[in-house]
Structure 1
Amino acid sequence: MVQVVDVSPDAGELPRTGTPGRRWGVRRAPALWTGALALVVGLGFVLVSLAFNDGRLFGPLDDVYIHLQYGSQLGAGHFFRFNTGDDISAGASSMLYAFVLGAAYAIGFHHTLLLAFAIGFNVCCFAVASASTCLLATRLLHRTAGIWAGLLVALSGPLAWGAASGMEVGLAMMLVTGLLLTFVTEQDAARFRWTPVVGALLALVRPEGLILACALTCAVLWTLWTRRGLAGPARTVRRAVWSLLPAVAGVAQLTFYKLATGTFSANGIQSKSLLHDQPEFYVSQFVDRAGATLRTLFGIFLGFSGQEFTFPGGLLVCLGGVAYLLLNRRLRPLVLATLAGLGGAVLSLSTLDSALLHELRYFQPFLPLFVVFVVAGCTGAAQLIARARTRRLALHSVLAVVLAFSVVALPVWSVRYARAATAIRESDVSYAAYLRGNVPPDATIAIKDVGAVAYLGGHHVVDLLGLGTNGFAEAANNEIGSLYEAVRHLPPERRPDYFATYDTGPGPSMKPMRDVGVLEQPALASFDVHAPEDSRGFLMVPFRVFTVTKADWSLVDNGDAAPVPGDVRDHLNVAYLTDEKAHDYAFLPAQDGLQPFTSLAREGDVIDSGRHILGGEEFTLHNAVPGRAATLTARVAMHGTVPEANLLVNGKPAGKWVREGRDSTWETYTFTIPAELVDSDTLHIEVRQPRPVLSPYPDYISYGYWLTQ
């Protein structure tokens, strides 16, 4: 029997061959063995790491242990509490993955077994993603394309690295490929039973997964609309409502963040987003920084400056594949939605200051779709060849070259994975072991890389970067002065007894806290990181020296006392974010792009934090007695050549305030506000530069203001 199949680009249906039942295994065989190959590759990465680490298992990222901590807490019944007794926090980058780890912990995967589960689970998800990619490319193109796509995913070094990392990469990858495969499977009947379910899971696994899931929801709604005659109006409406499940899941997750942390974003977003990672937000600066990330990203996937993630010209071939698939009218809703979802995800990720770190792990879950489009591009190019035999030979030859780039790089990626695990063993895991054996078990420890110390150390921890501890992300992004204030305003019983930190980023240097005596010297212990760098000179941890010091809070409240006599009506503690918000404090920059980072200083027994001001400030003071003269006192360290500033009270000029700089840590300056300007119990104060736009500008560190009468 001869079967004639229309395989033209405008064909409404994909080619169908064979019958179900007996031939199911034959048709699915390529997907099964590509999945098995991916499983072998992922486990091979783990074996290489074990060989590097004397047969012991370690995660290649400290972030892995953050997930393990949240998972173990969930499994023990402490719902999203990084420490037992803490408030609910949103430091885990994947809500769904935290529940997966929590379930594993609840059934007995504890300590290193939970890490083994995390790695094994994601490697299995990687295998499923490879098989799903094979089936997806088969449905979109043909069986040969499916085999090549599955092979390229299974033998991808970056994907194996991400899957074996123990992060949610493998799970997200499986849901990304599964979402598209489920869509094309259910598209013909226009009955999307499982597509919304997979989309909802993807929305819960990563924030950018929500973007892709919502884009695919649009494709579902379009398909239901164009096929509405098949099901009737009532049934179409019910199916459309069901298709909104991913959006409902996304809204529920954002609502949880709002209720738990007071914002609609997870703690990691508050810590790493270019929207929040500096005191002042400037659109021009944001566009410049995000654009730089995008340019670097495009360069990586063009492959002209290196072939670590793709072959030379990979992005161009990918775009060609998108164009080729768009020729098929039936596939256009899926391709356009996928393109929109990927574009939105890339734009969203480019707004993170960590977007290019950790081997692009945020982008790794979407790489199988990049592979599918690359295979489609090669297939489309091969269609330009007239002779069928030559066309097949050309397609196999080109894809073999693409595969060769992956195979050659695969051993390099396995060594990178092993070296990353070695670096974590030499640093975060080792420090956790030291703290567990040398610090009292009831002590509280403040730390930057919080994952391993929290999970393995057994102490109550304060996350100075704000992932596991609410409210600290914004403080850390304002630098050391605000971070000090956030720590010292913790309840006394929760203030850290020890600091286990480093001076390099992320987060501010701890040197100012040592200089003012909050961190006792000499340090209790200091460690050098001896882990070898990889071939690029990279080390997975951002520091080379790690110190453990005891904290001294004996002078903690001395900075709040008024430096002048009188009845204190109000006090603004500059650099303490909570107090600044209560007083409507704002920095008035002399020019666009200036940042009022905070610092820390000590004069005698007084320790205080301040902001570096280049321009002016405004704020609101309360509790004044109307009709009585008031004294405004400032603690300031003046720099530069402009000592004067214009002072306005409730919008009215009060005079020129001259604050001459002196050779000291800071000085106290006063200004008498006339009684006629104290016309209410609230005074809005503006300290403005005398010559707007033109330099030089007032340059000083502002520590605080007191209103006395």
Structure 2
Amino acid sequence: MLSSGNLKRFVPDIILVAAALAMTALYALSVGSGFPLDDAWIHQTYGRNLAETGLWSFVPGVVSAASTSPMYTVMLSIGYKLAVPFALWTHGLGALALAVTALVARRMALQVAPKLRGIGLAAGLAMIFSWHLLWAAASGMETALFSMMTMVCIAWCWRELSAARSSKTAHVMARGTTFGVLAAITTLTRPEGILLIAIIGVFLLIARPNMRWRDVILWGVASLVSFTVLMIPYLLFNLDVTGGLLPTTAAAKQIYAAPIRALGYFWGLRLMTIPLLAGGQLLLIPGMLVYVIMVAKRIRNDRHGLLFLLPPIWGAALVMLYAGWLPLNFQHGRYVIPALPALIFAGVVGTGWLLKAAQRSIVARVLTRTLALGAAMLIIVFAFGPGLSSYQLDVRVINEEMVAPAHWIAENLSPEAMLAIHDIGAVGYFAPRPLLDIAGLVSPEFAAVIADPEGQWALMQQGNARYLMAFPDQLPAEDTETRVFARSINRLAKPQSSLAEAK
């Protein structure tokens, strides 16, 4: 039986879990039902089809590799296997991921700054009330799960700093094997997770916390073996289906991002950074800088402190990667949202150190407390204000522009009629049927002709497409009235959403 003293230790954890569940529920329930991205319905379709048919498919019975997060697909399929309502299961996963992110952040803060009173709870609450992370938790996407796994990997790495770590061969290899499993799960959640794993590997090699070279080699070999064993089936599947190691979505999105990449790296860096500054994290930037400075001072005396630089290094590295690789900042910068937990963590801890250092001066105390209070207030205001409003608007748009047309298609069009569609998620879920994905995600042949209207029309004609569903700016050409697919336009739900019927 737990004593009152032991129970008190768990109070912060209980607060964090309750807050994560409550805030995710607030976002999810505030708009009734649905998700803020059509891509969330792609995940649902893959998850349902995997549970029902055992196949990795979007179109029932047709194997494809358009899921960017196989781990998330598997987790969604479990909900379908258990017959849990998909919305409850999906939002539950998001809430759980947010809660674990907060719990891990709390423990990391206590490890790096044990003398800062209340720093653990502050770091955890900052995760939960940051509106980007709330949006991600309720989005139906893999973003929250990936964010969680990045923090878990960093925290597991920090465990090696404990002097109590056993140096027995079996124990060292067990820890390495566990990290390899965590690394594989992270990479299977999002492919860019491999960047974090590489950074951690380099930092561990340099720091060698409480490890002889023999231990480093054993740990590294064990982690590499377990990582490889878990990754090989996925890589072989992609090679078989797509001819490459990455899902088909990678090539298509690279083509869409090409015009932005042509503007230069720093333009892409600006694009990927701006969405992340909306909220209290803007006022945490001084804290992030202080965190880096304080940890750098530790490294002078102890190279093991290098591992404490992982959060800001990882956060910056992810943003920099996307700035050059895929500078698409739509949907509140969702591709780089997983950088926020690590950056916010560094900002909160650094702000705590700043507050402590300012105790000797009245002016410094006023300035630092104003900064900390301002950051906290902005985080809360955005969580209940602009962040919540953005989520509600995003869900309404998808429900009206994607889900409503999908229901119309299910009720009015023959399942045998071939559709050519730009945004396939909701249609794939609510009106499952053969289709041509003109965005090139599920139908990779379209990726090669994204910038070629004639080529797109030719592929649609070759595929015997009878209907074309797309927004006006997504149609392959402006003179659609003269095309075989555009004899008549039926407005679905709102004027922007259109379905063109063949002659």
Give how far 1:126 is off.
0.8
Match of 2:11 in 1: 29
**Which residue identity lines up with residue 37 of structure 1 in the other structure?**
A
Hey, what does 2:169 align to over in structure 1?
Answer: none
Q: Which amino acid counterpart does residue 30 of structure 2 have in structure 1?
A: V
Superposed displacement of residue 392, structure 1 = 8.9
The 2-side partners of 1:464 and 1:388 are apart by 63
Q: Distance in 2 between matches of 1:374 and 1:487?
A: 51
Specify the alignment match of 2:44 in structure 1.
68
Amino acid at match of 2:476: S
1:288 CA drift (Å): 2.7
> In 2, distance between residues paired with 1:322 and 1:247?
33
Counterpart in the other structure of 1:265: 246
Q: Does 1:237 align with 2:226?
A: no
The range that moved more, 326-335 or 88-97, is 326-335
**Aligned residue for 2:191?**
207
Matches within 5 A, 1:285-684: 286=261, 288-301=263-276, 303=277, 308-329=278-299, 331-351=304-324, 355-385=328-358, 387=360, 398-411=371-384, 412-476=386-450, 478-490=451-463, 495-505=464-474, 508-516=475-483, 518-523=484-489, 525-527=490-492, 529=494, 545-552=496-503
Separation of aligned partners in 2, 1:251 and 1:355: 29
Q: 1:128 aligns with which of 79, 93, 100?
A: 100
- What do residues 106-126 of structure 1 show as CA deviations (whole Å, max 9, x unaligned)? 2224xxx22331122112211
How far apart, in 1, do the equivalents of 2:201 and 2:7 lie?
31
CA distance in 2, matches of 1:419, 1:269: 27
Match of 2:70 in 1: 95
- Is 1:117 matched with 2:89? yes
Residue 550 of structure 1: how far off its partner (Å): 2.3
Which is greater in Rg? 1
Query: Where does residue 587 of structure 1 map in the other structure?
Result: none
Alignment partners' CA distance in 1, 2:365 and 2:111: 18
**1:10 equivalent in structure 2:** none
Show the counterpart of 1:682: none
Q: Could you state the TM-score of these two structures normalised by the residue count of structure 1?
A: 0.63
Structure 2: where are the runs of 5+ without partners?
A: 167-171
Cα distance in 2, alignment partners of residues 251 and 309 from structure 1: 40
Give, in whole Å, the separation in 2 of the partners of 1:311 and 1:417.
18
For residue 461 of structure 1, report the CA deviation from its aligned partner.
1.9
Residue 453 of structure 1 and its aligned partner are, at CA, apart by 0.5
Instruction: Give distance in 2, aligned partners of 1:73 and 1:157.
Output: 32
Could you tell me how far 1:548 is from its partner in structure 2? 1.8
Q: Is the 8 A contact 1:32 1:131 kept in 2?
A: no
More strand by share: 1
CA distance in 2, matches of 1:546, 1:501: 6
Task: Say if 1:342 and 1:156 are closer, same or farther in 2 by CA, change over 3 A.
Answer: closer
| Corresponding pairs, count | 485
CA contact under 8 A between 1:138 and 1:146: conserved in structure 2?
A: yes
Secondary structure of the 1:207 match is coil
Secondary structure of the structure 2 residue equivalent to 1:108: coil
Deviation, 1:212, is: 1.0
| SS at structure 2 position matched to 1:471 | helix
Query: Could you say what the CA RMSD is over the residues aligned between the two structures, in angstroms?
Result: 3.0
Give 1:195 shift. Answer: 2.9
* Partner of residue 597, structure 1: none
Q: How much has 1:399 moved relative to structure 2?
A: 2.7
Aligned counterparts of 1:390 and 1:146: Cα–Cα separation in 2: 26
Q: Deviation string for 1:436-485 (max 9, x for gaps)?
A: 11101222211111000110013222211011223222222x23122123
Kept after mapping to 2: 8 A contact 1:221/1:243? no
Counterpart Cα distance in 1 of 2:328 and 2:404: 27
Q: Residue 305 of structure 2 aligns to which amino acid in structure 1?
A: R
Q: Unaligned regions of 5+ residues in structure 1, if any? A: 1-19, 51-56, 530-543, 553-709
Q: Which has the higher contact order (CA 8 A, sep 6+)?
A: 2
Aligned with 1:39 (options 8, 14, 21): 21
Identity of aligned residues (%): 21
Q: Hey, what does 1:256 align to over in structure 2?
A: 237
Q: Residue deviations 1:146-205, cap 9 Å, x none?
A: 121111111111111111011112211221221122222343227435333222211110
Question: What corresponds to 1:141 in structure 2?
Answer: 113
Structure 1 SS opposite 2:459: helix
SS at the partner of 2:491? strand
Which amino acid counterpart does residue 321 of structure 1 have in structure 2?
A: Y
Going from structure 1 to structure 2, the CA distance change for 1:419 and 1:91 (only over 3 Å counts) comes to: same
TM-score w.r.t. the length of structure 2 is 0.87
Change (3 A) 1:528 1:39: closer
CA contact (8 A) 2:466 2:485 kept: no
Alpha-carbon deviations, 1:371-406, whole Å to 9, x = none?
111123213323433549999998666433211011
- Secondary structure at 2:444's aligned position in 1? coil
Secondary structure in structure 2 of the residue aligned to 1:458: coil
Please state whether the residue corresponding to 2:465 is helix, strand or coil.
coil
- Say whether the 8 Å CA contact 2:269–2:327 is kept in structure 1: no
Q: Quick check: 1:203–1:246 contact (8 Å CA) kept in 2?
A: no
Look up the SS of the partner of 1:82 in the other structure.
Answer: coil
- Of residues 34, 57, 60, the one that matches 1:81 is 57
Cα gap change, 1:333 to 1:371, in 2 (>3 Å): same
Tell me how far apart the structure 1 counterparts of residues 207 and 233 of structure 2 sit (CA, whole Å): 26
